[in-house]
Amino acid sequence: MSDLKNTNILVVDDEEDITDLIKDILEDEGFTVRTASNGTSAQKAIQDSKPDLILLDIWMPDIDGISLMNEWKKAYQSLPFSVVMMSGHGTLEHAIEATKLGAFDFLEKPLTLAKLVAVVKRALKEQIVQPTLKPQSLTPQFTIEPVGKSPLMSSLRTKAKQIAESGNRTVLLKGELGSGKHLFAHYIHSLSDRAHNPIIAVNLGQLNEENIEETLLGKEDGSLITQGILEQANGGSIILENIAQLSLEAQDKLANIINNNEYFRINGKNLLAKEVRFIAISRDDLSVLVDEKEFSEALYYKLNILPLDIPSLSAHPEDVPDLIAFYIHHFVEEEHLQYRHFPIAVQNRLRNHTWHGNVQELKSIVQQLLVLGKSEEVTLNEVNELLTKKSQTRVISEDLLPLDLPLREAREQFEKAYLLAQFKSCEGNIAKLADKVGMERTNLYRKLKSLDIDPKKIS
């Protein structure tokens, strides 16, 4: 096979509209495509002419796709063609099982045109480069689509898909704690043509101006080479966490790294190509920090190319029942917790709760109700008791909050009170404090100094 277009692709799916759609898409790309509606017709098509690639549905009337792959493995010892699995109702176990059998990738329905074509081209290209080897057995990037049927979530998924198909452009995800920023970062990555490559999260709160370049770019010390995050994530995506905790000097260095298409490792002599997409996530409104001279304007405009605001759960409470069902399924199927029924009254109570911790808090509540409950059905009393207990640990009287101050001064007062309380709980240990609040020590010392906190005077 010397040309990607000079290939034979077989699409196996019992849904005729799916096979017709895939056939039309791939033929428009110049591929030769045949279709089969079940396992039996697929076997006949293979006997007539061995395909280079098979797009195989899991659920079919006569035999499932996993069993069919098992038959091919027994017949051929190793697969003589690439296989990409497809399913609208697959689980992570199905994806892993298919990959172990030699499947190149696992596509979820509904299929997106960009991802379908990208996966097909990668699978065929790997056959050209490594014709004697089986497709790479990588753990599949199994997409968990953000849950919710509300207009807000539907619109958000559409925007995320558009962003995913926009190439290398940097993404900025902004939202409250627990709103799902990481989920959307992974969702965007999984829908892009980078999906089969790594996605790596970097906690910038642990970095400073001295070590940020070595961490991202790597380092050479004689013959010893330390790969940086850019190399480790080559071809994939990098999630930039806690971006606002970087010092201004470190922000400038990060801006230069993002701006350049090539880079040297520290002490390196060979110029390397930068082939990653940056996805920054932040709880802070960076534009406000720019106005207050607390965040680099140059870095902000490099990050804010494709912004996406992730809403709080209070903005789409109608999605709470779907989220409850999703998390019940997750904990029962993946973590083997005991199933409990959530009646309508319970779901309605949770729907009307104020979720300060957003989706992550809801997930935590569902887990606790499954773990701690004794009866088969969740009761309204135990939900009220659990929510009341959580609220009591969170409530701060408005009388104690500096509501009459400008935002910057109010934030400084809160940060000072917060760090003093955390410092005392860590018994005056700076290392423990840095770990607890998620900040690199240099940044933490700088923050303490700016708030006029002397660690030596705190008992």
Do 230 and 159 lie in a common domain?
Answer: yes
Do 108 and 57 lie in a common domain?
Answer: yes
Distance CA 288, CA 294 (A): 9
Instruction: Classify each residue of 335-346 as buried b or exposed e, where b means 16 or more C-beta atoms within 10 Å of its C-beta.
Output: eebeebebeeeb
Distance CA 428, CA 442 (A): 16
* CATH code where residue 254 lies: 3.40.50.300
Share of the chain above pLDDT 70, in %: 87
Please, what is the end-to-end C-alpha distance for the chain in angstroms? Answer: 73
The type of residue at 353 is H
Any domain includes 136: no
Do 374 and 340 lie in a common domain?
Answer: yes
Q: For 59, what's the count of Cα atoms within 13 Å in the CB-facing half-sphere?
A: 8
Please give the pLDDT value at position 106: 82
Do 178 and 321 lie in a common domain?
Answer: no
Any domain includes 184: yes
Do 345 and 442 lie in a common domain?
Answer: no
Span 158-191, pLDDT tens digits = 999 999 988 889 999 999 988 999 999 999 999 9
Given a cut of 70, whether residue 383 has pLDDT beyond it is: yes
What domain range is 333 assigned to? 315-357+366-391
Any domain includes 142: no
Rounded average pLDDT over 82-86:
90
Do 21 and 111 lie in a common domain?
Answer: yes
Any domain includes 105: yes
Q: Name the pLDDT band for 129 (thresholds 50, 70, 90).
A: very low
Any domain includes 277: yes
Q: Which two tokens stand for residue 93?
A: 């176990």
Any domain includes 134: no
Q: Which two tokens stand for residue 153?
A: 């979530």
Span 95-122, pLDDT tens digits = 667 777 788 888 877 787 878 888 898 8
Distance CA 278, CA 201 (A): 10
Please give the pLDDT value at position 41: 92
Distance CA 87, CA 12 (A): 11
Do 304 and 168 lie in a common domain?
Answer: yes
Do 282 and 337 lie in a common domain?
Answer: no
Mean of all residue pLDDT scores within the chain: 84
Whether 105 and 126 have beta carbons less than 8 Å apart is answered as: no
Vertex 205 angle, CA 203 and 207, to 5°: 85
Nearest to 367 by CA among 321, 335, 322, 320: 335
Please give the pLDDT value at position 426: 78
Do 166 and 306 lie in a common domain?
Answer: yes
Rounded average pLDDT over 261-287:
92
* CATH code where residue 450 lies: 1.10.10.60
Please give the pLDDT value at position 398: 45
Any domain includes 122: yes
Do 195 and 304 lie in a common domain?
Answer: yes
Please give the pLDDT value at position 2: 42
Domain boundary among 272, 291, 310: 310
* CATH code where residue 96 lies: 3.40.50.2300
Do 226 and 280 lie in a common domain?
Answer: yes
Given a cut of 50, whether residue 252 has pLDDT beyond it is: yes
* CATH code where residue 333 lies: 1.10.8
pTM equals 0.61
User: Which comes out higher in pLDDT, residue 338 or 425?
Assistant: 338
Q: Which of 12-16, 346-350, 358-362, 436-440 bottoms out in mean pLDDT, i.e. has the lowest?
A: 436-440
Do 24 and 116 lie in a common domain?
Answer: yes
Span 40-71, pLDDT tens digits = 999 999 988 889 999 999 888 888 888 888 88
Given a cut of 50, whether residue 128 has pLDDT beyond it is: no
Q: Which of 21-30, 77-86, 167-176, 363-372 bottoms out in mean pLDDT, i.e. has the lowest?
A: 77-86
Please count the structural domains in the chain: 4
Any domain includes 145: no
